[in-house]
Amino acid sequence: MALLEVRDLRTSFFTDAGEVRAVNGVSFNLERGRVLGIVGESGSGKSTLLRTIARLQPSIDGRVLIGDNDISTLKPTHLSRMLSIVLTSRPGLKVVCRKKNCFALLVGKTLQ
């Protein structure tokens, strides 16, 4: 079982000019002991993806599972016991913890 599973995640912002899709159909598994790097241009949705995974930003479609728990079904108090975001002094490194299991999401710009 994956520590983190993201399936077809979609997040949009709605403006006067219309819908802006910040995250459009992202899927991945993060297995225990593995590291996942997320890279992209500025404004490509990297931080929005992390906020959506943590349920700080609502998604319009898709699933996020932490272990076998679908985060959309969890009360915020239960989710906060399972998931934490730790801001680090290292730019672009976000550490997310599920109980005693932590995983790092490396979020950065595309290297040229």
For residue 56, the model assigns a pLDDT of 82
Provide the residue-wise pLDDT of the chain in tens; the chain has 112 residues: 788 899 999 999 999 999 999 999 999 998 877 777 777 777 888 888 888 888 888 888 999 998 888 988 988 888 777 776 654 555 555 555 555 555 555 544 444 3
pTM attached to this predicted model: 0.73
For residue 108, the model assigns a pLDDT of 46
Region of residue 99 (phi > 0: left; psi between -120 and 50: alpha; otherwise: beta):
left
d(CA 54, CA 26): 15
Residue 86 and residue 32 in contact, taking contact as beta carbons nearer than 8 Å? no
